């Protein structure tokens, strides 16, 4: 939101402006329409509408704080969402790419290789967000079950099974009883005490991707791959929703990247025997 508001304040001012110092209450309908037009040109559909959401939110706070009248507020937020076809963000990894990632981790015989394999295993096997991954403590794991502290303080259980459990418990044997689970490792192989940052997770995955000889990826690409692969194997959409920790089923649908192949297969199910 801070980045979105920084972009908007720059658009409105015509120059870089600290969003904390920008006079949001001075914005009028002519300004917000111009902002809408500019974000529609500069960003993808999803990101542009995210900016408009940020704009509406800060204007509402201005009204609540009595920095602008109700009439001025109502006029300023009287703009529509941006419509159109959105381009799909991110990508879905193939099973071959996932195998190459795990092999790249296994070829590293240091602690980092064991840690990164475990990290990739629970990201993919449990469909975790990277924020959920870095917040895991040893106390959150018991006999193949992880307690995940998700968005909005919602708690769900994730089952670590098959190869994922093997990779994960290999790392726990190195990690011991210390918390948190995923920590930094220095050049001489000493484990740190603080949890990895979300940005560190991103860098680690891309370093492994480079070693594996595959295209760059994000932690969310792994999560997106989890959802798509589950749906390809016929897992019920509602089960995938609960596994990913989505509050709304509509959010899970966005993760479905099966595309035209799935539609063709579905059409093939419909048959009239004459």
Does the annotation count 159 as an active-site position?
no
**Following DSSP, what letter does each residue of the chain receive, concatenated?**
-HHHHHHHHHHHHTS---TTTS-GGG--HHHHHHHHHHHHHHS-HHHHHHHHHHHHHHHHHHHHTTSS-HHHHHHHT--PPPPSPPPPPS----HHHHHHHHHHHHH--SHHHHHHHHHHHHHHHH---HHHHHT--GGGEETTEEEEE-GGG-EEEEE--HHHHHHHHHHHHHHTT-S-SSEEE-TTS-EEEEEPPHHHHHHHHHHHHHHHT-----HHHHHHHHHHHHHHTT--HHHHHHHHT-SSHHHHHHT---HHHHHHHHHHH-----
Q: For residues 213 and 97, what is the distance between their CA atoms, to the nearest angstrom? A: 9
User: Given 36, 130, 229, 246, which residue is catalytic?
Assistant: 246
Does the annotation count 129 as an active-site position?
yes
Does the annotation count 20 as an active-site position?
no
Q: For residues 95 and 54, what is the distance between their CA atoms, to the nearest angstrom? A: 37
Q: For residues 167 and 170, what is the distance between their CA atoms, to the nearest angstrom? A: 5
User: Given 36, 51, 115, 129, which residue is catalytic?
Assistant: 129
User: Given 36, 175, 223, 229, which residue is catalytic?
Assistant: 223
Does the annotation count 73 as an active-site position?
no
User: Given 151, 154, 207, 210, which residue is catalytic?
Assistant: 151
Residue 156 to residues 64, 123, 149, 160, 193, Cα–Cα distance (Å): 35, 15, 7, 13, 26
User: Given 91, 220, 257, 258, which residue is catalytic?
Assistant: 220
User: Given 73, 124, 141, 255, which residue is catalytic?
Assistant: 255
Question: Hey, which residues are catalytic here?
Answer: 129, 151, 220, 223, 246, 255
């Amino acid at each position: 939101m801070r980045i979105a508001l920084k972009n908007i304040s720059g658009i409105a001012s015509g120059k870089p402006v600290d969003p904390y110092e920008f006079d949001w209450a001075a914005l009028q309908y002519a300004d917000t329409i111009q902002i809408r037009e500019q974000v529609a040109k500069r960003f993808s559909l999803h990101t542009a509408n995210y900016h408009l959401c940020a704009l509406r939110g800060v204007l509402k706070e201005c009204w609540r704080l009595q920095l602008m009248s109700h009439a001025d507020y109502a006029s300023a937020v009287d703009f529509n969402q941006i419509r159109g076809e959105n381009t799909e963000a991110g990508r879905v990894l193939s099973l071959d790419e996932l195998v190459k990632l795990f092999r790249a981790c296994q070829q590293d015989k240091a602690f980092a290789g064991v840690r990164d394999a475990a990290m990739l295993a629970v990201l993919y096997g449990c469909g975790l967000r990277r924020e959920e991954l870095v917040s895991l403590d040893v106390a959150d794991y018991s006999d193949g079950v992880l307690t995940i502290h998700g968005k909005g303080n919602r708690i769900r259980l994730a089952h670590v099974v098959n190869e994922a459990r093997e990779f994960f418990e290999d790392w726990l044997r190195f990690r011991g009883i210390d918390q948190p689970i995923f920590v930094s490792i220095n050049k001489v192989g000493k484990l740190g005490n603080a949890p990895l940052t979300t940005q560190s997770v991103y860098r680690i995955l891309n370093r492994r991707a480079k070693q594996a000889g595959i295209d760059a990826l994000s932690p969310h690409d792994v999560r997106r791959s989890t959802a798509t692969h589950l749906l390809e194997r016929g897992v019920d959409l509602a089960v995938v929703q609960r596994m990913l920790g989505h509050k709304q089923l509509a959010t899970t649908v966005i993760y479905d990247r099966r595309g035209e192949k799935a539609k063709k297969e579905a059409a093939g199910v419909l048959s009239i025997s004459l």
